[in-house]
Chain A
Amino acid sequence: MKIQTSHTIAAMAAACVIALCFVTASSASVQASSQVKAQIAQAYSSVLSAESSGGNVTALVAKLNSAVSLMQQADALNATSPAKAQSLYSQASTLAQQVISSAPAVAAAGRASTFDAQASLAVETAVLAALAALAYLYVPRLFWRYWYRTHRDWRVKKQ
């Protein structure tokens, strides 16, 4: 009788431990999921910021898409395989962190290339303005010189 009681208590304790483990794993997954979602949102904000600075964000977007895809896979596996889901969340988190850390460099490169583009636009506009001034001064003279060269053999006939 005593042995049976102790078996029952042991079984109940094991069940409690298993249930506790499940609840802990489940809450850890929920926490990991919301943490990765927040990191992806932050990564997206940093991509937007890099893009508005004129940076080429193609590689960042590809990485961010990979993170989103991993997060979705993890969400799908969360109920059936929490350990695998945790691993996928961790990979997604790493990718999101990489995007966040790379974005400032992309933004800086974008700012530099925007400055270069603006400088070259300014130079082009200045050259065009100089050309316009030269054209204003010399086009009539050049035109008449050319006209004279092409028409110098012409003779005027008496009507």
Chain B
Amino acid sequence: MIDDDLKVAAVGVIVLIAVFNVSGYYFANRNVEPFSELGILGPTQKIADYPSSVLTGQNFSLNLYVGNHEGQVSYYQVLTKLGTSANANQSVPLAAPVMTSYGMVLLNNRNVTEPITLSLDHNGTNVRLVFELWIYETNTTSFRFYTSDWLYLNVTGPSA
């Protein structure tokens, strides 16, 4: 009776080691739910100190945070556009001209924080500065809209 228990315990420990070994190999670097991240950070690379008011034509700094958890290398493009509070929708791209674009290729489970400098040419209150994340898809050979994030700004000063 004790002999059987000993056999079961010894073989069980070895089988457990084998299962961990094999599953570690097959599930390494696999993302169960692939996703990407987009964040706008302030000039100090924190979720703080965002400019709320800028002068027309004057440069201001922000940081773009992009994270890749897609389970593979991903090619991203972040587009900046200008909108209003009326057309705020995170799930569709804004139908507006592109101000600037930033491209980056990220390894799986990596992120990048890229400092950017922008300036706005026209006065306005509650101007929505939109950042859109697009992912390149090899099957369609084009970028697919993923998500967007934005910042409200008052742009003051002499009109351009």
Q: Name A's B-contacting residues (CB within 8 A).
A: 40-41, 44-45, 47-48, 51-52, 57-58, 61, 64-65, 68-69, 71-72, 75, 117, 121, 124-125, 128-129, 131-132, 135-136, 139-140, 143
Contact = CB atoms under 8 A, between A and B. Distances in A.
- Residue of B21, B103, B105 with most partner-chain A CB within 10 A: B105
Given A136-B7, A139-B7, 16 more contacts: A40-B75, A41-B75, A41-B138, A48-B73, A52-B72, A64-B105, A68-B75, A68-B104, A71-B103, A75-B101, A117-B25, A121-B22, A124-B18, A136-B11, A140-B3, A140-B6
Contacts of B14: 128, 131-132, 135
A65 B22 contact: no
A61 B73 contact: yes
B7 A47 contact: no
Interface of B: 2-3, 6-7, 9-11, 14-15, 17-18, 21-22, 25, 72-73, 75, 101-107, 136, 138, 141
B3 to A, nearest CB: 4
30 contacts: A40-B75, A41-B136, A41-B141, A44-B105, A47-B105, A48-B138, A57-B73, A57-B107, A58-B107, A61-B106, A61-B107, A64-B75, A68-B104, A68-B105, A72-B102, A75-B101, A117-B25, A121-B21, A124-B18, A124-B21, A125-B22, A128-B17, A128-B21, A131-B14, A132-B10, A132-B11, A132-B15, A139-B10, A140-B2, A140-B6
Given A57-B73, A64-B105, A135 B18 contact: no
- Residue of A45, A52, A117, A132 with most partner-chain B CB within 10 A: A132
A68 B73 CA distance: 15
Contacts of B11: 132, 135-136
